[in-house]
């Protein structure tokens, strides 16, 4: 049969066969495109805006009028977004890798705690989501704060540029607004105190605009803009330094309440707080809001730029923070690092293709879900990557994805302390840190805990165990007690406690799929 066909073939038959072949290829290409579009893998641009220490429980989004309109109202607002560790470096490491701290092994903000350490660089950093975006032909851009110990000599200096980034403008060390050093594609760039040239929030924006002007339109782009705001030292732009002059930190909820039946660190603050502490925290609260006005301007300018480029409708924009914050809750002056809602809840708003406007979504989302969601959008096969989180594209764009919602999750933290006493607070002894003002300490070696947080529409509970000599346990029913004023450990049915304990044990050792599928 085949020989007969060949012997009878003429020029017309060859053209016909080639035409059929071209038609088959075209059909296959069309089907592939349809599958890629149905899978949400169309080459959309992605922008991740990450603030530093921005709470959501205590009014942290109040200054963000433009951001709420341009991202939240134009897309989805997640009202139950959480960090899996309420501290900068472990949280940011979770964002980059999609993994819980017990898997990326960044425990705190110190080099010894693996923050930007050589061990981090050789392991988790080499598998962070920008590496996968590069494989998907994304042009990648980073500007701002990376990890707290980044740029230190012991961490490879500013010469170290993490894999996956085409353009790299990273702050050496912790958040600053002036007088800092950047790594610009591995070369040191020092900045001074000129507002026009050096104010870091504005510099991040200006560099991102330059990247957009220079990028190749043939390929999609990913930008991560990591602002110093509203982290200390809370240096606002000159035009905003008089804003919110009459604003005070909120006085409701757990503000200036004694930490009764809580871990010893919550029992050590003076309550009620002295006037000097109240003045200090109110000033911090106002200045934090002032710094955020420049971030709000950044979002507006960026959205206008994308719109002018005709790229806005094909760009996902994520807005979130690495952790929450407190100002006077349970008489703790200012910081994060605690297991309570004000420290572990974060803002999260997303707009982009397939996301209907004005959505308010209740299902819990974690910062370890950002990496798989971004990779999902870019077309990465998530079954091929090592992540503990899950894509939440299905929640905000159900037309593009099917997905499931987790009923509970893990929050874990490893405390930091100093081996010797703080000279300013000699009565407190060793093992403590962040002791300010009035010698109230915000952290300690044994402020080390793990919590299972259950939030499934019917149950809203938190169960936490401390790694200390007391083996202290805190349990809260947030449906009845949203401010976590009462530790109900002694009132809860022992069988419920046993279930929570078993879930916590499993979560603390989970890896990958086992973090998402625990009964």
Measured CA angle at 396 (ends 390, 397), to 5 deg: 100
Measured CA angle at 325 (ends 199, 409), to 5 deg: 120
Question: DSSP string of 83-98?
Answer: -SSSSHHHHHHHHHH-
Distances (CA, A) of 473 to 155, 320, 340, 446, 447: 36, 30, 13, 13, 12
User: Count H helices, E strands: the chain?
Assistant: 16, 20
The dihedral built from the CA positions of residue 246, 251, 253 and 254, taken in this order, carries a sign that is: positive
Closest CA to 377 of 314, 330, 323: 314
Distances (CA, A) of 26 to 39, 122, 160, 439: 20, 44, 45, 72
What 8-state DSSP symbol labels residue 99? Answer: -
Beta strands in 194-244 (DSSP E): 221-226
Q: Which two tokens stand for residue 116?
A: 């930007």
| Phi, psi dihedral angles at 378 (to 5 degrees) | -75, -10
Closest CA to 56 of 70, 67, 45: 67
The answer to whether 33 is a known catalytic residue is no
Rounded to a whole number, what is the distance in angstroms from the first to the last CA of the chain? 60
| Phi, psi dihedral angles at 223 (to 5 degrees) | -125, 135
Q: Which residues contact 453 (CB under 8 A, 6 or more apart)?
A: 82, 344, 364, 408, 409, 410, 411, 461, 462
Instruction: State the helix-helix crossing angle for 275-308 and 200-214, rounded to 10 degrees.
Output: 10
Tell how strand 221-226 and strand 45-51 pair up: parallel
On the 0-12 / 13-18 / 19+ scale of CB atoms within 10 A, 404 is exposed
Q: Which of 88, 89, 451, 464 is catalytic?
A: 88
* Cα torsion through 204, 170, 412, 233, rounded to 10: -60
Residue pair 272/311 in contact (Cβ under 8 Å)? The answer is no
Residues in the chain: 519
Residues with active-site annotation: 88
């Amino acid at each position: 049969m085949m020989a007969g066909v060949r012997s009878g073939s003429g020029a017309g038959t060859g053209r016909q066969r080639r035409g059929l072949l071209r038609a088959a290829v075209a059909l296959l290409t069309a089907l592939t495109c349809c599958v890629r579009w149905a899978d949400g893998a169309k080459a959309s641009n992605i922008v991740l805006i990450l603030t530093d220490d921005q709470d959501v429980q205590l009014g942290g989004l109040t200054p963000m009028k433009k951001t709420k309109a341009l991202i939240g109202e134009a897309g989805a607002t997640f009202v139950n977004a959480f960090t899996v560790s309420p501290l900068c470096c472990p949280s940011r490491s979770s964002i980059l890798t999609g993994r819980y701290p017990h898997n990326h092994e960044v425990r705190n903000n110190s080099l010894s705690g693996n923050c930007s350490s050589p061990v981090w660089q050789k392991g988790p950093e080499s598998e962070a989501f920008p590496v996968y975006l590069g494989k998907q032909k994304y042009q990648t851009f980073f500007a701002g704060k990376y990890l707290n110990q980044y740029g230190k000599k012991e961490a490879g200096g500013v010469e170290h540029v993490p894999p996956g980034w085409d353009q790299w403008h990273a702050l050496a060390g912790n958040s600053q607004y002036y007088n800092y050093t950047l790594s610009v594609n591995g070369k040191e760039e020092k900045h001074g105190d000129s507002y026009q040239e050096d104010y870091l929030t504005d510099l991040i924006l200006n560099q991102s605009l330059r990247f957009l002007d220079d990028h190749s339109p043939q390929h999609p782009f990913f930008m991560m803009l990591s602002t110093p705001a509203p982290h200390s030292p809370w240096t606002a732009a000159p035009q905003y330094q008089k804003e919110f002059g009459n604003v005070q930190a909120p006085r409701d909820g757990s503000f200036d309440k004694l930490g009764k039946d809580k871990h010893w660190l919550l029992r050590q603050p003076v309550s009620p707080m002295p006037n000097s502490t109240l003045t200090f925290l109110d000033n911090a609260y106002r200045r934090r809001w002032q710094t955020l006005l420049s971030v709000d301007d950044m979002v507006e300018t960026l959205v206008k730029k994308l719109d002018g480029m005709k790229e806005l409708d094909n760009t996902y924009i994520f807005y979130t923070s690495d952790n929450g914050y407190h100002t006077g809750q349970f008489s703790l002056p200012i910081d994060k690092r605690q297991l309570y809602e004000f420290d572990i809840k974060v803002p999260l708003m997303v707009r982009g293709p397939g996301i209907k406007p004005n959505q308010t979504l209740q299902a819990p989302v974690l910062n370890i879900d950002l990496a798989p969601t971004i990779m999902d959008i870019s077309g990465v096969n998530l079954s091929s990557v090592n992540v503990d989180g899950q894509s939440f594209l299905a929640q905000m764009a159900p037309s593009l994805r099917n997905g499931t919602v987790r009923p509970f999750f893990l929050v874990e933290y490893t405390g930091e302390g100093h081996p010797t006493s703080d000279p300013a607070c000699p009565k407190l002894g060793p093992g403590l840190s962040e002791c300010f003002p009035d010698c109230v300490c915000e952290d300690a070696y044994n402020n080390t805990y793990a919590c299972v947080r259950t939030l499934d529409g019917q149950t809203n509970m938190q169960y936490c165990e401390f790694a200390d000599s007391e083996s202290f346990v805190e349990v809260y029913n947030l449906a009845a007690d949203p401010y976590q004023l009462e530790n109900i450990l002694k009132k809860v049915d022992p069988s419920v406690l046993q279930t929570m304990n078993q879930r916590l044990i499993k979560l603390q050792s989970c890896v990958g799929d086992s973090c998402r599928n625990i009964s």
